[in-house]
């Protein structure tokens, strides 16, 4: 009988990519991937350690699963950070595998079948070289947009962040390997690729950094759109800024986290730039691509953050104007310098600041979406809508767009007149069929 496996992914897009690669491996091992844990023989939790809440989810999930599947694996950043502690806390766990070691999944499963509870958190191997290429059928089942990890790890050591410890030092994949993977994705029907890395704009796997890689990938004929995430302001070099002007396949959307607006907090965070330097970079990218939509990450309540510091964050948000953003309460993480400080901000203060910041960011997002109404935007069709004749796609600015029309094809880019905006979504009608492209 075929064995069934279910992977539950928490956290960032890198984990979504990793989950897909792990699913490829399990499929090659004869597993059938199933959509829930209910009737799975193997459940793999692909975990996140970025904030306390994310890490805690793993143990509550393990508690729920303990009487369930024959085999439970813990992968991802909690696996890396906590290693055999996980098995001590939850003895039902069959194996633990860190994010740099998941090419060893088949041998770990084999070992676990003997009753051993292996823990593999080696950071040294080149997992990409060791991974089998996924089949076209497996890729095609995922749709027209795909993630592609090009860089992993981080050397920046922001004072709040666990990533340099859980994902290790910055490593870039070679250009040729990435091009081969991108071509395989495109051959299977993918039309939009988001290049991923914890610090993707520090990519150094070939000539010209990330901009060079974008130029090479943009030459793949049937690939229509490229995006990248997530970036550090210091690595926004001139070439990457110019790519936003010169490369039409690079979408006008930039996720550039700043975290805070006060220079003293930025310094304490070890971000290595000021608020003014950040604004200056944004201005340069906007000069290169005037319709650029901006996204960011923010942390409120970093140790020592005063009301005045927080006001500086609000004022930076006012200055920049975001199309979307992610904001979090500071969460002390074990092993990071900021967690040791004795000037932690009280929880109610963090909550009040987060509410205020999120209200401002939500208003900006609403205004950005409303500003799209009346424009005609190229929409990449991703799937059929709920009702007959409806389609759902994405705008260049990453907004989901619900289209009222007949006869589109998944993977087409269609010009759509935007007629409404609601929540995070846009609504529109396809304009003349003759404007559809051929793909």
Piece in contact with ligand SF4 (CB under 6 A), picked from 111-119, 150-158, 274-282, 416-424: 150-158
CB of 170 closer than 8 Å to CB of 210 = no
Within 181-220, which residues bind ligand SF4 (CB under 6 A)? 198-199
Contact partner at residue 48 from ligand SF4, ligand 5AD, none, CB < 5 to 8 Å by partner kind: none
Residue 146 touching ligand 5AD (CB under 6 A):
no
Q: Is 160 in the site for ligand 5AD (CB under 6 A)?
A: yes
CA distance 152 to 171: 5
224 binds ligand 5AD (CB under 6 A): no
Of 253 and 302, nearer to ligand SF4 (C-beta) is: 302
Nearer residue to ligand SF4 within complex by CB, 14 or 44: 14
**Three-class HEC string of 397-417:** CCCEEEEECCCCCCCCEEEEE
Residue 333 interacting with ligand 5AD (CB under 6 A): yes
* Least distance from ligand SF4 to the Cβ atom of residue 164, Å: 5
Minimal distance in Å, beta carbon 46 to ligand 5AD? 16
Assess 161 for contact with ligand SF4 (CB under 6 A).
yes
Minimum CB distance to ligand SF4 smaller for 154 or for 256: 154
* N residues, the chain: 439
Q: Is there a contact between 400 and 376 (Cβ–Cβ < 8 Å)?
A: no
Which of 12, 19, 154, 211 binds ligand SF4 (CB under 6 A)? It is: 154
Q: How far is the CB of 149 from ligand SF4 (least distance, A)?
A: 14
Which ranges constitute the DSSP H helices of 270-346? 275-288, 307-320
Give the Cβ contact number of residue 288 at 10 Å: 17
Task: For the chain, report the end-to-end CA distance as a whole number of angstroms.
Answer: 40
Task: Verify binding: residue 257, ligand 5AD, rule CB under 6 A.
Answer: yes
Please list the residues that pair with 326 across neighbouring strands.
Answer: 297
- The residue behind tokens 């055999």 is 84
- Min dist. Cβ of residue 421 to ligand SF4 (A): 31
Residue 331 binding partner per list ligand SF4, ligand 5AD, none, with a CB distance cut-off of 5 to 8 Å that depends on partner kind: ligand 5AD
Cα separation of 257 and 424, whole Å? 20
Name the minimum Å distance from CB 386 to ligand SF4.
37
Separation between Cα atoms, residue 309 and residue 349, nearest integer Å: 13
Q: List the one residue from 144, 217, 265, 299 that touches ligand 5AD (CB under 6 A).
A: 299
Looking only at residues 216 through 235 of this chain, which bind ligand SF4 when binding is defined by CB under 6 A?
A: 232
Range list of H helices, 148-250: 163-166, 175-187, 209-218, 238-246
Among 156, 273, 284, 436, binds ligand SF4 (CB under 6 A): 156
* CA–CA dist 204, 13 (Å, integer): 20
Q: Residue 303 and residue 265: Cα distance in Å, rounded?
A: 8
**Cα–Cα distance, 365 to 424 (Å, whole number):** 8
Binding positions for ligand 5AD, rule: CB under 6 A: 50-51, 160-161, 257, 259, 297, 299, 328, 330-331, 333
Residues that bind ligand SF4 (CB under 6 A): 154, 156-158, 161, 163-164, 198-199, 232
């Amino acid at each position: 009988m075929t064995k069934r496996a279910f992977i539950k992914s928490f956290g960032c897009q890198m984990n979504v990519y990793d989950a897909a690669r792990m699913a490829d491996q399990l499929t090659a091992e004869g597993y059938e991937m199933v959509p829930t844990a209910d009737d799975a023989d193997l459940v793999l939790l692909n975990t996140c350690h970025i904030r306390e809440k994310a890490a805690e989810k793993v143990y509550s999930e393990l508690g729920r699963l303990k009487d369930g599947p024959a085999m439970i694996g813990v992968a991802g950043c909690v696996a890396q950070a906590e290693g055999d502690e996980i098995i001590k806390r939850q003895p039902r766990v069959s194996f633990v595998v860190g994010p740099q070691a998941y090419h060893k999944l088949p041998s770990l499963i084999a070992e676990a079948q003997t009753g051993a509870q292996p823990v593999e958190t080696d950071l040294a191997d080149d997992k990409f070289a060791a991974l089998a290429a996924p089949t076209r059928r497996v890729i095609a089942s995922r749709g027209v947009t795909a993630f592609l990890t090009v860089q992993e790890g981080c050397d920046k050591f922001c004072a709040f962040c666990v990533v340099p410890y859980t994902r290790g030092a910055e490593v870039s994949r070679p250009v040729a390997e990435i091009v081969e993977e991108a071509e395989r994705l495109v051959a299977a029907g993918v039309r939009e690729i988001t290049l991923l890395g914890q610090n993707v704009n520090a990519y150094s796997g070939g000539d010209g950094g990330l901009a060079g890689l974008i130029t090479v990938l943009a030459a793949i004929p049937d690939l229509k759109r490229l995006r990248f995430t997530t970036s550090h302001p210091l690595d926004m070099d001139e070439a990457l800024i110019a790519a936003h002007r010169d490369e039409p396949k690079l979408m006008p959307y930039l996720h550039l986290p700043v975290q805070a607006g006060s220079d003293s907090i930025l310094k304490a965070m070890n971000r290595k730039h000021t608020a003014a330097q950040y604004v200056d970079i944004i201005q340069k990218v906007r000069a290169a691509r005037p319709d650029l939509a901006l996204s960011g990450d923010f942390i409120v309540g970093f140790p020592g953050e005063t009301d005045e510091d927080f006001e500086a964050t609000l004022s930076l948000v006012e200055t920049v104007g975001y199309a979307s953003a992610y904001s979090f309460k500071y969460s002390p993480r074990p092993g990071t310098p900021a967690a040791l400080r004795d000037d932690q901000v009280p929880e109610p203060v963090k909550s009040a600041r987060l509410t205020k910041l999120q209200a401002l960011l939500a208003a900006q997002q609403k205004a950005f979406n409303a500003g799209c109404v009346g424009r005609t935007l190229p929409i990449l069709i991703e799937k059929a809508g709920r009702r007959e004749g409806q389609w759902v796609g994405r705008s260049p600015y990453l907004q989901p767009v619900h289209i009222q029309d007949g006869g589109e094809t998944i993977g087409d880019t269609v010009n759509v007149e935007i007629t409404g905006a609601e929540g995070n979504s846009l609504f529109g009608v396809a304009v003349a069929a003759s404007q559809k492209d051929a793909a």
